[in-house]
Amino acid sequence: MRVEKGAESREANMKFVSTRPVTILSTRHGERWFPFLFRHADGSLLLYIQTGHDRWFAPVQRFRSRDGGSTWTAEQNNLPRLSWCQSFGDGELFEMDWYGFRDPKTAGTYAFYGAWGFPSDAGRPTARDTVRVHSPSAVTATLSQRATEGYPTYPWWPLYNTLHGRAELSGDEVLMGGPIITGGGEFDGRLLALGYMVNLRDEAGEHWWTYCFESLDRGRTWEEISAVGGGRAATLPNLDEATLVVLKNGQLYCVLRSGTWLYHSWSSDSGRSWSQPAELHLIDSEHRPRAVWPVCKVLDDGTLVLVYGRPGKHMVFDPSGTGRQWQGRLDLHAWELDTQELFGVPPESRLHGPTQLGVRYWDSGDYLGCVADGPREMLVCYDVQSYHEHWNAPMMDAAIRLVRVRLE
């Protein structure tokens, strides 16, 4: 059955048309959170899913689809908790871990787990090594502070021991810091990535900000090259999770999460400086985009597509390809509720959202994954919690839903 929903755009006479979402992964006992969806250079899809509670050090599992998202296979993890990945034209895949730790021997340098492999060539071993990021703006926190907020940290102890040259370390000696990378890509033969990190700590607590980093050796070493919007001197609220694309006019464009609304910024000098971040608005709606995990994609003709969530799950597009004409919002949360109603789920058993108050176990983490799938189509995925798929289905603790969206 191919029932579709449209979201109109009066500016460009274009709209999103969505098929019904389908479940691609589910569990009756456990956690499935925050899907990160990526298309590898060979065309296959990689899906990274957090498989623990929403806490520090929660593990991440990698899945792969070779048939456009119809079936998925669990694969060997190369990293404890992937933050971001990028593939190259020769089929190599670079993966970077979420957490960095200060090198006591090199000022302003943080070490992360990294992996360089070839998913399409089973005969080629994956190289696991250290990613080194020089980030003089970062402020550290001790492992003892972070470990109280999450899971056991055993997978990272070999990295601590290597950096310090001994194994008898305490959690107060290990210093965490550097960026958590959330978006980036290969531009003009170099990698650029945006990552957020603690850059100031005062009586009000920790302050996070987004910085731009550059690598000239496929992710093995990185250099901090700019702050998006002012860094320590910024007057805006904290900016953290960010997505990065290159526009059809050659500018870099990013959309950033804040404590409230989404912001966006442009760079005309390859990421070395950025315009003052401004709140992102829609030109055809009073809806104000907020608040978490923006993911932006560029279609073949330069059209931009953006997904974001919490509260709800949303898609918008910009046919101008400039980042200044966002419109045509599609409410995927409403579409999910409509789908549950269609399949006979009683009202009291449907998703409770939106999750503005953070009751994620009733509804969804509201982080969306998105990849382009052809010149005018996207695949979008998200998690659902305490979920009934149809009238006779048992409740799933968690599931991942996938929907195909076409721009017409």
User: What is the pLDDT, as a whole number, of residue 7?
Assistant: 59
CA–CA separation, 113 and 159 (whole Å)? 8
Query: Which domains are delineated in the chain?
Result: 5-407 (2.120.10.10)
- Quote the tokens at residue 259: 């404590």
**Which of left, alpha, beta for 175 (phi over 0: left; psi -120 to 50: alpha)?**
beta
Q: How far, in Å, CA of 344 to CA of 352, rounded?
A: 16
Query: Token pair for residue 371?
Result: 């990849």
Report the C-alpha dihedral over residues 327, 328, 330, 334, rounded to 10 degrees. 100
Which of 98, 95, 58 has its CA nearest to residue 76?
95
Amino acid (1-letter code) at residue 80: P
Two tokens at 209?
């900000």
Predicted local distance difference test score (pLDDT) of residue 185 = 97
Residue 329 and residue 313: Cα distance in Å, rounded?
10
Using DSSP's 3-state secondary structure scheme, residue 163 falls into helix
Longest dimension (CA), the chain: 65
CA dist 70 to 23, 119, 175, 298, Å?
10, 19, 42, 23
Around Cβ 279, how many Cβ atoms within 10 Å? 14
Q: Is 219 left (phi over 0), alpha (psi -120 to 50) or beta?
A: left
pLDDT in tens, the chain (408 residues): 344 566 555 445 899 999 999 999 999 999 999 999 999 999 999 999 999 988 899 999 999 999 999 999 999 999 999 999 999 999 999 999 999 999 999 999 999 999 999 999 988 999 999 999 999 999 999 999 998 888 988 999 999 999 999 999 999 999 999 999 999 999 988 999 999 999 988 888 888 999 999 999 999 999 999 999 876 766 777 899 999 999 999 999 999 999 899 999 999 999 999 999 999 999 999 999 998 999 999 999 999 999 999 889 999 999 999 999 999 999 999 999 999 999 999 999 999 876 555 578 888 999 999 999 999 999 999 999 999 999 999 999 999 999 999 999
Q: What are the tens digits of pLDDT across the range 18-76?
A: 999 999 999 999 999 999 999 999 999 999 999 998 889 999 999 999 999 999 999 99
Q: How far apart are CA 74 and CA 269, in angstroms?
A: 40
Please, which residues bridge with residue 370 across strands? 380
pLDDT at residue number 327: 98
d(CA 303, CA 330): 16
Q: Tell me, what's the pLDDT at 10?
A: 47
The per-residue pLDDT for range 362-406, each reduced to its tens digit, is 889 999 999 999 999 999 999 999 999 999 999 999 999 999 999
State how far the Cα of 183 lies from the Cα of 302, in Å rounded to an integer: 18
Question: What is the Cα–Cα distance from 128 to 23, expressed in whole angstroms?
Answer: 33
Look at residues 73, 19, 14, 85 and name the one whose alpha carbon lies nearest to residue 338: 19
Q: Provide CB contacts within 8 A for 227, sequence distance 6+.
A: 137, 199, 209, 210, 211, 212, 234, 274
Helices (H) and strands (E) in the chain, counts: 3, 29
Tokens of 254: 């990013």
